[in-house]
Amino acid sequence: MIVQAFAFYLFASVAVAAGVMVISARNPVHSVLFLILAFFNSAGLFVLLGAEFLAMILVVVYVGAVAVLFMFVVMMLDINFVELREGFLQYLPIGGVIGLVLLAELVIVVGGWTLAPGTAQIAAAPAPAADAISNTHALGALIYTHYIYLFQAAGLILLVAMIGAIVLTHRRRPGVRRQRIADQVRRSPAETIKMVNMPPGAGI
């Protein structure tokens, strides 16, 4: 029990510290690396809870695909962060008002939050035996019955985020040469061939 408690506090503290560094790091590449660290520690917490399937999905899908996608998008966008920080003071009052509104909402939600009567018994329930329903079966039955609409909404949000990342990456930027096959096919000989009449014996 002591080892489990030590592992929980270790994973939880590192995950919280990595989450803070994600939003406070100046370099966006470092933010993505801290995000990957937070994912790994969250996977460790899922293992402690007995949800090995969720831990594996978190590592394989989020670390192996989503975080790497974030890394490539950040590296390919070539964002001028100095220019973005120039208008920080201009939007500071609006951002402060929005932050206060969100803080008030969080205080209201936390202040009115109460535990259900049977929560303690559910939390203290042991993990299912080996011959009972597997972790993957129980998770699939829960997601695709009670939370099917939320699951589909999460998929749509990820689809929109992927399309937005592709659009931002492939935007037209001045000074970047791109190959246009249609323009190459439509070109006329007069645009590409220049006839030069050289006198006999003269070099080029």
Return the domain boundaries, the chain.
1-80, 135-173
pTM of the model: 0.53
Residue-level pLDDT at 82: 64
The residue type of 7 is A
Q: Which of 62, 24, 70, 8 is nearest to 40 (CA)?
A: 62
201: helix, strand or coil = coil
Residue 153 has pLDDT above 90, yes or no: yes
Residue-level pLDDT at 149: 92
* 67-93: pLDDT as tens digits: 777 777 666 666 666 666 666 677 778
Residue 118 has pLDDT above 70, yes or no: no
DSSP symbols for 125-188: PPPPPTTS--HHHHHHHHHTTTSHHHHHHHHHHHHHHHHHHHHHHT---TT-----HHHHHH--
The mean pLDDT value for 170-181 works out to 73
Give the number of other Cβ atoms within 10 Å of residue 190's Cβ.
7
More confident residue, 66 or 164: 164
CATH of domain 1-80: 1.20.120.1200
Residue-level pLDDT at 105: 81
Alpha-carbon span 69 to 32, nearest angstrom: 10
Residue 117 has pLDDT above 70, yes or no: no
On average, the pLDDT of the chain sits at 78
